[in-house]
Structure 1
């Protein structure tokens, strides 16, 4: 007879409490399974627990995978794969008991004692509760039995244990990053957090939430779910649940992240029930629940009629999965009447259809009998899902991972060891630790075409699907894939989501839910933190003058580029206009007209003095100095025209230098006139030695020396740091001023300082000489003219510094015109009056008369 060994997988389904389980009967599912014995566990009160109907799909997925591997003769030829199922009864003790029974002989709990070598467990599939998987690992690693976990991977600090753990769950950090990307994508910065009250929940709060905070996520509340309580302490459970749900529903956060495990949705449903029995109506459907991949929809009989509307529009993460052809048909062929040994199916069938299957050994009265023709697909999905869930998909892949590893071991032995005749049994004499080595390196494609493999840490290589829950009035639901988080994908393609495909809770009317501490700051405003509040809570303050913000929730306002200026709403920048004082604008026209008018007046006065050059008034106080003064005043009026129009290289070079040199000539001429008056008076005294200083040479030397000094400074300025055309972008808010950059401010101030010195000396000397006896004392008019000149330029300094843009040029032009015209009018108007209107006074006789 041909040798046909069988290997048994052990499935440790945590928190499956069917009637069969609690009675201590763990039946093998079908006739194709050759591990046809059963395990006994202690009996407990069967009224204390109920069946989680969704977990039958896990059992069915296991059976479906085993059936496929046994039917596939190319995968494991002449080998039958079977399995045992153990129950941990909600407790750590039950978990350890299941592990010890696995390691004991049949029908008797005797640890580390086996009398049979057949049907040795090749591996253990456990999950989905993290703590119980860790308890199993403590025992199984001693015997080097590999454990495939289809829930969240426990954190194992012992490398000796970790090496035997194979996680049918992708890297958990990928899921955390996916949740963070989801929150940031929808701009949900103000959230609530509900997590388990255990080590895994605290680890999530301590290690994961701080990374969320670094990305700008704030937490209005962090609540811990109470321990699952279905029997003892139910009142305390209800009380604690009521407090949590009240906080959650009273929160201003519209998004709640739930970190839980398989039964967590069941607990949330009980929390809602806790509020209902308190007659506290809560709008629980106003929140968007974001759930982790460890969670799955759980249902027990006494909550069957409870609403699940709060899940409508929720978003959850699930291990990436694909539909398996044949699984739905496999479920549809389940017939409890033809599979009487399948006590799981019997108990499940009676639970979901609320009927009793005919059993002659039991006297059942008062209940409706099942016909066996009921259809699973007619059940609401809240009772049972016909579509394979992600956890069931992981169980299916775990079975195939073991099967492919067994095949790899068999192929390895055939290749490296030629078996003698009759040694086929030795080829299949495989120890669990040998299987463990191949599991880490296994890679295969399942029947859905998905590649299954593990990384160096024993974690499944894969990603997560993003699921949107849509709830229907009949308490059915459909889970729609709307995105994906792929850890191995490029950075820009790791997180993918279809916004338009998501159905939001009804209260949001299909608009994107808003979940922030306060409304966004509009354009033109910036954020300011509220004292005593979290950083997500802030006030919105308008941008200060000259700054803008062109985005919502701006951290601070900023200035526009130099060529732009803020608009009135301070939410954008407008292009600045380039401005300068032109001949076309009114101000430029007025100044130009006055400059030309004053120039003509000066020419007129110069003409009068030249016409009447032989008269006494013209000859008095040095006629040539008068001509020099009038000419410089004429040039000063014309110099003002250099400041009007678009600044160019030539005009910038000439503006300040020509102005300073011309004014120096005028002031030095006035100074020479004043000194001439004083010396003329002193020279008339007997014995005065000043007479030899009298004459034209003194006057010319004063004018020439002062003018040459100013010209030398101007040339030095032009050589070292000449003025040049420049753009002033900041002095005027809405315009760019085209102006002449001085190049060296020190040089300009040196020129102005020297002119000021000449003006003060002239004013002082003229003031002292104003009462000297003379037929026509010009010192009086020079004193008054210099007083006007100094007053104009003293007023110029604060006015110029407080003016911006092209108005600065206008102020300087006005000062040039005003001071020049002050000199012209104060000095020459009295003389012109005598020459033109009082000619009788313009004679030597009259001058001698006045002098005497």
Structure 2
């Protein structure tokens, strides 16, 4: 095809730009720009002729051409005039051919370098120069991003990419049981988050989950609130059954021990340890074991009151009985050293007033408790997610700890006195067992307090029952097991002759 010589300065600017880019290793490393030149005729019949020629692969232009453009073509610089560009641009856009036309805006991030000051170009020539650099900058940006997009320079895809849109980006609705949580990256993007326990959503694309009431819980799908079942520490439960059987067994053992003491009431070992106080202690321990049944079963206003009051009073009787037995031993063996006052206290039966006085103090504490803030039935909605737990609230926690504190003070006084008189003749060695029983009692309740404070629900009730049974069993075993052993296994030691043989050497040594 012929050339128009007045376009020669455009060719020079075009070649100058190509050479400048190929010499710069920073722009297109390991890559060389090539070019094809076609005349841009201004005649009305000519603007599209060279485009058809290029589409036909450089062969003869025929109607309904077959597209045979060169595979390595990067872009077309569509002329130097607006009229020419407006004629060929629609055809290039129809077949997605990259082009740079006159009056085409540059990309925001494209930086155009100024030509050297000693190079003179006209405005129209400079348009061609800039157009070449625009294409070069676009190629440069594309090569830098090819590792991120997975595309190679020949537009092939080396590995299969997933073009499925992410689930969390506004493409899938959140079903019932989920709520939409907006992501920080974009306002229109969200995640479907499963509702928490106790919350539901029963619509699609719910913005928030709905909180179930305290009497309801959410199903596994978090779509409906279901009514909670009423529960309590029942004897049908495995834990309630175990505690009830334990309480029944130790109650039977206590009754057997009481029967043994009644049957052998005239023997020296029963008389020597004040059989009346032994009977009172055994009966109070039996009541301690039986009062644990008040904690098992459906709570009732009456049982809630009886639980704490019965527990406090029967334990007070048991500990004051131990204190009275300790005082008797103390007065009996210290009266010879301490003179008339001790002998008068022993003869007047001062130890008999210990039990009623100590019990009266506990009665006053319990009366104040009932008068100010008595125990009542409460519904625990949080300990078990699917159940409404019926429990007996203590009303006044301070009053409850006052009852425990008073029991603890009785135990400490008894422990101190029994420890003081622990070194007595072997025939009257009950003080040693009293000391050990008080040590076991205090250890159990000191361990109980912190564990009880951190427990909740059925476990809290079970811990209190266990502490009652364990401390009562400790008193029963430590005080009465040695006596039952002598009565049943070693009856030879349960005689006046044996007692005198144990006492005479010590009396002679004392004399």
Q: Please show how residues 4-15 of structure 1 align to structure 2 within 5 Å.
A: none
Choose from 293, 306, 313 the match for 1:641.
293
Residue matched to 2:481: 829
Query: What does residue 344 of structure 2 align with?
Result: 692
**Is 2:309 the partner of 1:663?**
no
Q: Which residue is 1:740 aligned to?
A: 392
Q: 1:530 aligns with which of 173, 176, 183?
A: 183
Change (3 A) 1:765 1:238: farther
| Deviation at residue 841 of structure 1 after TM alignment | 1.3
Does the CA contact (< 8 Å) of 2:168 and 2:191 recur in 1?
no
* 1:791 positional shift: 2.5
1:574 aligns with 2:226: yes
Summarize the Cα distance change of 1:560–1:612 in structure 2 as closer, same or farther, 3 Å threshold.
same
Structure 2 runs not aligned, ≥5 long? 1-80, 99-166, 507-511
1:233–1:728 distance in 2 versus 1, CA, 3 Å: farther
Q: Is the 8 A contact 1:776 1:847 kept in 2?
A: no
Distance in 2 between residues matched to 1:274 and 1:678, nearest whole Å: 121
8 Å CA contact 2:177, 2:201 repeated in 1:
yes
Residues in 2 aligned to 1:695 and 1:677: alpha-carbon distance in whole angstroms = 13
1:820 to 468, 472, 475: 472
- Name 2:51's counterpart in structure 1: none
Name the residue aligned to 1:484: none
CA distance in 1, matches of 2:168, 2:498: 101
Matched residue SS, 1:684: helix
Match of 1:672 in 2: 324
Provide, for residues 127-164 of structure 1, a one-character-per-residue CA deviation record: whole Å limited to 9, x for no partner.
Answer: xxxxxxxxxxxxxxxxxxxxxxxxxxxxxxxxxxxxxx
User: In structure 1, how many angstroms separate the alpha carbons of the residues matched to 2:346 and 2:220?
Assistant: 69
**Aligned mates of 2:209, 2:448 — CA distance in 1:** 37
The answer to which structure has the higher helix fraction is 2
Correspondence list, 1:253-264, <5 A? none
Query: What is the Cα deviation at residue 620 of structure 1?
Result: 2.1
Shift of 1:831: 0.6
SS at the partner of 1:614?
coil
Partner of 1:277: 94
Query: What pairs up with 1:235-634 in 2 under 5 angstroms?
Result: 277=94, 279=96, 517-534=170-187, 536-634=188-286
State the match for 2:65 in structure 1.
none
Deviation, 1:280, is: 7.7
Q: Residue deviations 1:554-607, cap 9 Å, x none? A: 444454211122333444333221111223333333322222222222122112
Aligned-pair CA distance for 1:821: 1.2
The structure carrying a bigger strand percent of its residues is 1
The CA deviation at 1:274 is 9.4
Q: CA deviation at 1:757?
A: 1.8
2:365 to 698, 713, 719: 713
1:645 Cα deviation after fit: 1.3
Instruction: Determine the structure 2 residue equivalent to 1:722.
Output: 374
CA contact (8 A) 1:732 1:804 kept: no
The structure-2 alpha-carbon separation of the partners of 1:753 and 1:552, relative to structure 1 and needing over 3 Å to count, comes to farther
Change (3 A) 1:794 1:686: closer
> Which deviations, in whole Å up to 9, do the C-alpha atoms of 1:687-728 show, x marking residues without a partner?
464222225642222211211111111122222222122211
Inter-CA distance 275–785: structure 2 relative to 1 (3 Å threshold): farther
Cα–Cα, structure 1 residues 553 and 766, in superposed 2: closer, same or farther, change >3 Å?
A: farther
Cα displacement (A) at 1:670? 1.0
Tell me if the contact between 2:201 and 2:222 (Cα under 8 Å) persists in the aligned partners. Answer: yes
- Name the counterpart of 1:752: 404
Q: Is the 8 A contact 1:682 1:688 kept in 2?
A: no
SS of equivalent to 2:388: strand
> CA 1:236 to 1:845, structure 2 compared with 1: closer, same or farther past 3 Å?
farther
Say if 1:622 and 1:696, in contact at 8 Å, map to a contact too.
no
Q: State the shift of 1:838 in Å.
A: 1.8
Do the aligned partners of residues 760 and 276 (structure 1) sit closer, same or farther apart at CA in structure 2, a change above 3 Å counting?
farther
What secondary structure, in the 3-state scheme, does the structure 1 residue paired with 2:477 have?
Answer: helix
Deviation at 1:618? 1.3
> Structure 2 CA distance, aligned partners of 1:807 and 1:732?
11
Within 5 A, what are the aligned runs for 1:95-110?
Answer: none
- Give the TM-score normalised by the residue count of structure 2: 0.63
Inter-partner Cα distance in structure 1 for 2:336 and 2:232? 56
Q: CA deviation at 1:648?
A: 1.0
Please state whether the residue corresponding to 2:428 is helix, strand or coil.
Answer: coil
Post-superposition shift, 1:546?
A: 4.7
The separation in 1 between residues aligned to 2:295 and 2:87, in whole angstroms, is: 88
2:432 is aligned with 1:780: yes
1:235-284 alpha-carbon deviations (Å, 9 max, x no partner): 99999xx9xxxxxxxxxxxxxxxxxxxxxxxxxxxxxx799536289xxx
Structure 1: gaps spanning 5 or more residues: 1-231, 243-272, 282-513
TM-score (norm 1): 0.39
Paired with 2:314 and 2:404, the residues of 1 have a C-alpha distance of 12
SS of the aligned residue for 1:680 comes to helix
Asked if the contact 1:759/1:790 (under 8 Å) is kept, the reply is yes
Provide, for residues 77-107 of structure 1, a one-character-per-residue CA deviation record: whole Å limited to 9, x for no partner: xxxxxxxxxxxxxxxxxxxxxxxxxxxxxxx
Is this contact kept in 1: 2:174–2:180, CA < 8 A? yes
Q: 1:829 to 1:237 in 2, by over 3 A?
A: farther
Q: Distance in 2 between matches of 1:804 and 1:236?
A: 83
> What is the RMSD of the two structures over their aligned residues, measured on CA atoms?
3.2
CA distance in 2, matches of 1:705, 1:764: 19
CA contact (8 A) 2:268 2:495 kept: yes
Partner of 2:127: none
SS at match of 2:173: coil
Give the direction of change, closer, same or farther, for the CA distance of 1:569–1:759 in structure 2 (3 Å limit): farther
CA distance in 2, matches of 1:690, 1:520: 90
